[in-house]
Amino acid sequence: MTTQTAESAIAVARQPAPEPGGTALISYVLPVYNEQDGIRHFHEELAKALAGRPEFRYEIVYVNDGSADDSLSILRELAKSDPRVRVVDFARNFGHQIAITAGLDEAKGDAVIIMDTDLQDPPRISLELVDAWRAGAEIVHARRRTRRDTIFKRTTAHAFYRILRSWAEVDIPLDTGDFRLLDRRAADELRRFRERSRFVRGMVASMGFRQTEVRFDRDERFAGETKYPLRKMARLAIDGVTSFSTVPLRLISRLGFLVLALSLAGIVYALAMKIFRPDITVSGWTMLMVVTLFLGGTQMLAIGVLGSYIGRIYSEAQNRPLYIVREVLGHDGD
């Protein structure tokens, strides 16, 4: 067992592509945050799926993202009982997207599969991603054909993906989360993306390579509560928009022109009434309050959008490590 203090302390070794007739190594990157009720069942389902495909070698990299429950204890047990398992234990919670990054830094496979451990992404589908990879794809997205979520979540997710696609400067696949497969070359390229406000699915889409999709029906969460409540979903959406689009900045300019046009129209109206209808007085207090509140709200909105982009610049300028690792458990670390 080794104790690590920073992301650079993780030993990462790129394995060569398998020789013809050799056995490919498939890595699973699995972020875990407070999943004590379902992690054992997930591992059983994953092991069952992998047992049906003995032609590959597998490594399973769990990333404990500062869980406050017994998830780490369960992961320790899995690492002891299954030699394929490695556990990267964060010093604190750094977030789902950072946990994916740490798993990619640790994974050594010829192909890397990213998926969650709540069983909404069925382990058996991951083998269909492998088949698409063996057929020549370098990046394979798992696209949700249906999903068993609340109406609110389905509606907001549907709208978000389509707004982001229309705004983004890269072609981000619709209805895809972080469940995907990356070829070794693509995984190595993705590891070079080190920005802090991360939107992994957008980064993957921006890299190019030969990309394809596998459609699947997303299941219900097996146990526990969603780790992406509305607040975190909104933050992820903001990261996605500000990472791959400058449309909000352009909208500020358009909003400014709109306000200018309304202001000119108001001036023309007031002057016309003064000249041609001196008997009619333009309401003073009401008009003043409406204009003041409208301009104030517009300015605050513009400052908020600018602040989002400036905040990203400030965060990147600090150049702090993306994550801190307490220890790495497993056959390579014990």
Mean pLDDT of all residues in 259-279: 73
Helix (H, G, I), strand (E, B) or coil at 197: coil
Question: Locate tokens 């990356």: which residue?
Answer: 182
Give me the pLDDT at residue 214, please. Answer: 86
Based on the domain organization, do 167 and 280 belong to the same domain?
no
The residue type of 179 is: F
Give me the pLDDT at residue 64, please. Answer: 93
pLDDT-wise least confident of 19-23, 200-204, 265-269, 289-293: 19-23
The residue type of 23 is: T
Do the Cβ atoms of 37 and 117 come closer than 8 Å? no
% pLDDT > 70, the chain: 73
Mean pLDDT of all residues in 141-146: 81
Note down the domain range covering 217.
2-245+321-330
Mean pLDDT of all residues in 237-263: 73
Based on the domain organization, do 68 and 174 belong to the same domain?
yes
Give me the pLDDT at residue 114, please. Answer: 93
Based on the domain organization, do 42 and 149 belong to the same domain?
yes
pTM for this prediction: 0.71
Do the Cβ atoms of 33 and 65 come closer than 8 Å? yes
Average pLDDT over all residues of the chain: 78
Alpha helices in 8-145 (DSSP H): 39-51, 71-81, 96-106, 123-134
Q: Quick one: which of 254, 253, 259, 252 has its CA closest to 291?
A: 259
Extract the tokens encoding 333: 């670390």
Based on the domain organization, do 54 and 127 belong to the same domain?
yes
CA distance 226 to 244: 26
Give me the pLDDT at residue 111, please. Answer: 93
Based on the domain organization, do 270 and 169 belong to the same domain?
no
DSSP class of residue 219 equals -
Query: Could you tell me the pLDDT band of residue 1, with boundaries at 50, 70 and 90?
Result: very low
Give me the pLDDT at residue 95, please. Answer: 86
Based on the domain organization, do 233 and 256 belong to the same domain?
no
Helix (H, G, I), strand (E, B) or coil at 164: helix
Q: List, for residues 192-225, the tens digit of each pLDDT value.
A: 888 887 878 778 887 888 888 888 877 665 555 6
Q: Quick one: which of 275, 325, 289, 272 has its CA closest to 62?
A: 325
Question: Locate tokens 């496979």: which residue?
Answer: 109
Based on the domain organization, do 257 and 289 belong to the same domain?
yes
pLDDT-wise least confident of 25-34, 288-297, 311-320: 288-297
- Number of domains forming the structure of the chain: 2
User: Alpha carbon of 246 to those of 163, 233, 238: distances in Å?
Assistant: 13, 20, 12
Based on the domain organization, do 240 and 251 belong to the same domain?
no
User: Alpha carbon of 329 to those of 98, 104, 124: distances in Å?
Assistant: 19, 16, 26
Q: List, for residues 151-202, the tens digit of each pLDDT value.
A: 766 676 677 767 766 676 677 777 677 889 999 999 998 888 888 878 787 7
Q: List, for residues 9-23, the tens digit of each pLDDT value.
A: 343 333 344 444 458
Query: Could you tell me the pLDDT band of residue 331, with boundaries at 50, 70 and 90?
Result: low
Based on the domain organization, do 174 and 279 belong to the same domain?
no
Give me the pLDDT at residue 201, please. Answer: 78
